[in-house]
Amino acid sequence: MSVISNHYGEYPFKNDYIFDKFKFTFTLDSQVFRYFRETFHSQKKNLLISLNNIDKIIVQPSEPLVSDLPKTHLMLELSEPLVLPPDSEIRGFFDFPVSVAILVIVNNKITPIDLFQLLPYKFALYGNSHNGVLCRYWKTSFYPVPIEPRIFETGVLEIEIQNSSSSTITLTRLVMDFAYIELFYNWTVVKAKARARIQSESLCETQFLVPTDVHNFTKSYDLIPTKILSSSKFIMLYGI
Amino acid sequence: MKIANILTPEKIIELTVVIVIFLILLVLINLVLKKLKIVLSDKISFQTLLVFNRFVLWGFIVLYTILALTYFGVKLTGILALGGLVSIIIGFAAQKVVGNFIAGLFLIFERPIKMGQSVLINNFSGIVEEIRFLSTIMRTFQGEFVRIPNELVFTSAITNLTENIARRVDYIIGIRYSDDFEKAKEVVLKFLDLEQFVLAVPKPEVFVEEFASSSVNVHIRFWVPTEKWYDMKNYLQDVIRNKLINSGVQIPFPQMEVKIHNLDGFKER
């Protein structure tokens, strides 16, 4: 029996799941499940899960984490620079990449089993190679109104940008630590929220917040464990 | 004083008990340190844990020995005075050892190299296996075991190949004088843009390096995450070459044009 669908959410356990751009199967092999996933660009994954019973499956959007190079910073580069007058504030939207996570539920216990991307990914260096950070790279535009994200590929990031400096600032990029992102999703839309406080042309503080208006949305299960005793804010020291 | 007078049956029993307690405590401390190593392995570096373990173990051994000697009525002042004299003699004889030990401490605390990093020290290149108090152990890329005295490590120029998070890859590829450089540049940049581990920032660069005798030498440079540097450097060179060839750009081999001005005279001879 198969599940044919194309949205995020919780599904009853079946052997086959077919989505538009990916599919996965579970086969019980004596005491373990064999999991096989394939994406439309032939990315394959095979693994054994040491369970003999699965209650439900969750297909959810997750942090834009790449298993091959697990870096937790995201650089959003603007295709058109955004000019901000002194002491001003603007609210708008960016799109950002999401990963797809497959989780299994057994006795109300959630276990992530797979994480993959349907979009090709790139990385970028923010700062220098000694003191900087490696970030997942994403080129985006600033949208004054909410945009329609692409399911299983992108989400919508609501952003508040404050220019606290006394000079006009041209914003070309933002770097943030997505280890602290709070993702909310419904069937087709993924939402997150962030704030950027610009102090000067070379200094900006970014932070993820809880998005507003998430009624009827589900919070994504965090794949990156919460860091204790560390700040959720990221300070951009090498220019904006 | 005869040994028989000192080693009475009671004393032998006491000594045995002291040794047994020492061994039990040693096993217990080792167990606790092993557990700590597992629990703290994702929070503290392996090197720091190793140094901490050694300090705890040796600290315990020294402290227990002092306590045991005091218990058996051995006067420590005499030992200390003797120790002072011995240390002067050893000090003269083992200046190098002391130098290595102090250099080892500096290496442990300053941390110019860490365990698991790829480094180049004094003509040796390889992976740091362990930083001991007197020497640093390296495994060369050919798999050989190298022990370098810490003083030498500390006073040598060290190239740490994996300390920084990103590294640049440089290739120089020659194309024919008749080839279109702009086209070659476009082919390479387009290809690098699709490669997932070639960093988008700093942007890859392609420029003419040199007008050489048989080719126009094109310099290609781009940055990759350090952990992917070796694989990418090896993989991309051939792929870029093939991309250029497939787009009609050719990689020339050295050529020499010979012009003979007086062919008739050459024939006569």
How far does the CA of residue B200 sit from the closest CA of chain A (Å)? 5
My answer on whether B9 and B89 are in the same domain is yes
My answer on whether B179 and B131 are in the same domain is no
- Percent share of chain B, pLDDT over 70: 90
> Mean pLDDT across the stretch B170-179?
90
* Among A77, A120, A123, beta carbon nearest to B199: A123
Query: Looking at beta carbons, which residues of chain B come within 8 Å of A124?
Result: 199-201
Q: What are phi and psi of B90, to 5 degrees?
A: -65, -40
> Mean pLDDT across the stretch B112-139?
89
Which of A43, A118, A125, A236 should be substituted to probe chain B, the one whose Cβ sees the most B Cβ atoms within 10 Å? A125
Query: How far apart (Å, rounded) are the C-alpha atoms in residues B126 and B113?
Result: 12
CATH of the domain at B156: 2.30.30.60
* Domain-embedded: residue B82: yes
Query: Looking at beta carbons, which residues of chain A come within 8 Å of B199?
Result: 122-125, 134, 137
Contact B225 A69 (CB under 8 A): yes
Contact A134 B200 (CB under 8 A): no
* Among A120, A122, A125, beta carbon nearest to B202: A125
The answer to whether B249 and B181 are in contact (CB under 8 A) is: no
Contact B165 A133 (CB under 8 A): yes
> Mean pLDDT across the stretch A177-195?
93
Q: Which domain holds residue B7?
A: 2-93
**What is the pLDDT confidence band of residue B267, given thresholds at 50, 70 and 90?**
low
Asked if residue B185 has pLDDT above 80, the reply is: yes
Contact A134 B225 (CB under 8 A): yes
pLDDT of residue B57: 86
My answer on whether B145 and B207 are in the same domain is no
Residue of A nearest to B168 (CA): A129
My answer on whether B225 and B203 are in the same domain is yes
* Domain-embedded: residue B261: no
Residues contacting residue B27 through CB under 8 Å, at least 6 positions apart = none
My answer on whether B231 and B171 are in the same domain is yes
> Mean pLDDT across the stretch B197-211?
94
Contact A69 B202 (CB under 8 A): no
From B160, B183, B200, the end of a domain falls on: B160
Query: Kindly report the CA angle at A171 between A169 and A174, in degrees rounded to 5?
Result: 135
Count other Cβ atoms within 10 Å, centred on residue B120: 14
How far does the CA of residue A20 sit from the closest CA of chain B (Å)? 23
pLDDT of residue A11: 93
pLDDT of residue B101: 82
CATH of the domain at B201: 3.30.70.100
The answer to whether A41 and A221 are in contact (CB under 8 A) is: no
How far does the CA of residue B241 sit from the closest CA of chain A (Å)? 22
pLDDT of residue A46: 92
Query: Looking at beta carbons, which residues of chain A come within 8 Å of B164?
Result: 129-130
Of the candidates B149, B37, B49, B58, the residue with the CA atom closest to the CA atom of residue B98: B149
* Domain-embedded: residue A13: yes
* Domain-embedded: residue A32: yes
Of the candidates A82, A74, A93, A69, the residue with the CA atom closest to the CA atom of residue A157: A93
Kindly provide the residue ranges of all beta strands, DSSP E only, lying in A19-87, ordered along the sequence: 22-29, 32-39, 44-49, 56-62, 73-84
Structure tokens at A80: 């058109």
Q: How many helices (H) and strands (E) does chain A have?
A: 0, 20
Kindly provide the residue ranges of all beta strands, DSSP E only, lying in chain B, ordered along the sequence: 118-121, 124-131, 135-140, 145-149, 158-160, 166-175, 205-211, 216-225
ipTM of the complex as predicted: 0.88
* Domain-embedded: residue B254: no
Residues contacting residue B109 through CB under 8 Å, at least 6 positions apart = none
* Domain-embedded: residue B251: no
Q: Give the CA distances from residue B114 to residues A25, A70, A166, A217, B102, in Å, rounded to whole numbers and listed in that order.
A: 43, 21, 44, 46, 17
Length of chain A counted residue by residue: 240
Residue indicated by tokens 């997750």: A62
Q: Which domain holds residue A55?
A: 9-236
Contact A77 B202 (CB under 8 A): no
Residue of B nearest to A138 (CA): B200
Query: How far apart (Å, rounded) are the C-alpha atoms in residues A57 and A101?
Result: 10
> Mean pLDDT across the stretch A143-157?
93
My answer on whether B61 and B109 are in the same domain is no
Query: Kindly report the CA angle at A159 between A154 and A161, in degrees rounded to 5?
Result: 145
Contact A122 B228 (CB under 8 A): no
**What is the pLDDT confidence band of residue B191, given thresholds at 50, 70 and 90?**
very high
Query: How far apart (Å, rounded) are the C-alpha atoms in residues B173 and B69?
Result: 73
Average pLDDT, chain A: 91
Contact A129 B223 (CB under 8 A): yes
Q: B167 CB near a chain A CB, below 8 Å?
A: yes
Q: B194 CB near a chain A CB, below 8 Å?
A: yes
My answer on whether B151 and B223 are in the same domain is no
The answer to whether A153 and A97 are in contact (CB under 8 A) is: yes
Count other Cβ atoms within 10 Å, centred on residue B244: 22
pLDDT of residue A225: 73
Size of interface A-B (CB pairs under 8 A): 48
In DSSP terms, which residues pair with B208 in a beta bridge? Answer: B218
What phi-psi label fits residue A56: left (phi over 0), alpha (psi between -120 and 50 degrees) or beta?
beta
pLDDT of residue B93: 66
Name the amino acid, one letter, at B172.
I
The structural domain count of chain B equals 3
The structural domain count of chain A equals 1
- Per-position b or e across A203-221, b if 16+ CB within 10 A of its CB: bbbbbbbebeebeeebebe
My answer on whether B190 and B235 are in the same domain is yes
Query: Looking at beta carbons, which residues of chain A come within 8 Å of B228?
Result: 69
Name the amino acid, one letter, at B109.
F
Residues contacting residue A143 through CB under 8 Å, at least 6 positions apart = A92, A93, A94, A95
Kindly provide the residue ranges of all beta strands, DSSP E only, lying in A190-232, ordered along the sequence: 190-200, 203-209, 218-219
Over residues B45-61, the pLDDT tens digits come to 777 777 788 888 888 88
**What is the pLDDT confidence band of residue B234, given thresholds at 50, 70 and 90?**
very high
The answer to whether A198 and A164 are in contact (CB under 8 A) is: yes
Query: How far apart (Å, rounded) are the C-alpha atoms in residues A132 and A237?
Result: 9
Q: B165 CB near a chain A CB, below 8 Å?
A: yes
pLDDT of residue A5: 84
Element (H, E) at A102: strand A99-106
Give this prediction's pTM: 0.77
**What is the pLDDT confidence band of residue B2, given thresholds at 50, 70 and 90?**
low
From B160, B186, B205, the end of a domain falls on: B160
From B112, B139, B160, the end of a domain falls on: B160
* Domain-embedded: residue A2: no
Query: How far apart (Å, rounded) are the C-alpha atoms in residues B206 and B197?
Result: 17
* Domain-embedded: residue A77: yes
My answer on whether B8 and B88 are in the same domain is yes
Residue indicated by tokens 């290739």: B171
